[in-house]
Amino acid sequence: MDEFMTAAIAEAKQGQDEGGIPIGSVLVKDGKVLGKGHNKRVQDGDPVTHAEIDCLRNAGRIGSYRGTTLYSTLMPCYLCAGAVVQFGIKRVIVGESETFSGAREFMESHGVEVIDLNLDECKNMMQRFIHINPQLWNEDIGK
């Protein structure tokens, strides 16, 4: 596992420590972290503060997203995949998609390379959270 996925996992753990949903994200270009974020829907009372959105907000205005890679501990949903496509991010690396399949096909249909690392650490973190907080998880994914 590389340092960027490790940073995304640290963001996910921070979110969970804050009472939120353990999903983290990191935006990288040329080996440098431009922004990090985690799901803050619970903490901020904001239904759209998903990890990837928080990460992009924290990166700020960077002009072009050409050459960036977005890391996420979980396969992005359609909201976050829409942001990926909108900003022209062409590579997304995810920790896992077993607990949530997300919008992989949508991103790929728009020319985004999606790499699923299928990491046990990410799966176990989400499975534990979903088991303990099924209602909160269902709210997060719109069920």
**pLDDT, tens digit, 9 for 90 and up, residues 81-116:** 999 999 999 999 999 999 999 999 999 999 999 999
d(CA 25, CA 39): 9
67 phi-psi bin (left φ>0, alpha ψ -120 to 50, beta other): left
Residue 16 pLDDT:
96
Q: Is 98 a catalytic residue?
A: no
Q: Of 121, 127, 82, 139, which is closest to residue 100 (Cα–Cα)?
A: 127
Q: Which residues of 27-37 are buried (b: 16+ CB within 10 A; e: fewer)?
A: bbbeeebbbbb
Task: Supply the pTM of this predicted model.
Answer: 0.96
**pLDDT, tens digit, 9 for 90 and up, residues 25-77:** 999 999 999 999 999 999 999 999 999 999 999 999 999 999 999 999 999 99
Among 3, 52, 113, 121, the active-site one is 52
Other CB atoms within 10 A of residue 115 CB? 11
Among 3.30.70.1400, 3.40.50.2300, 3.60.150.10, 3.40.140.10, what is the CATH number of 3-141?
3.40.140.10
Cβ proximity of 37 and 18 under 8 Å: no
Rounded (10°) angle between helices 3-17 and 120-132: 10
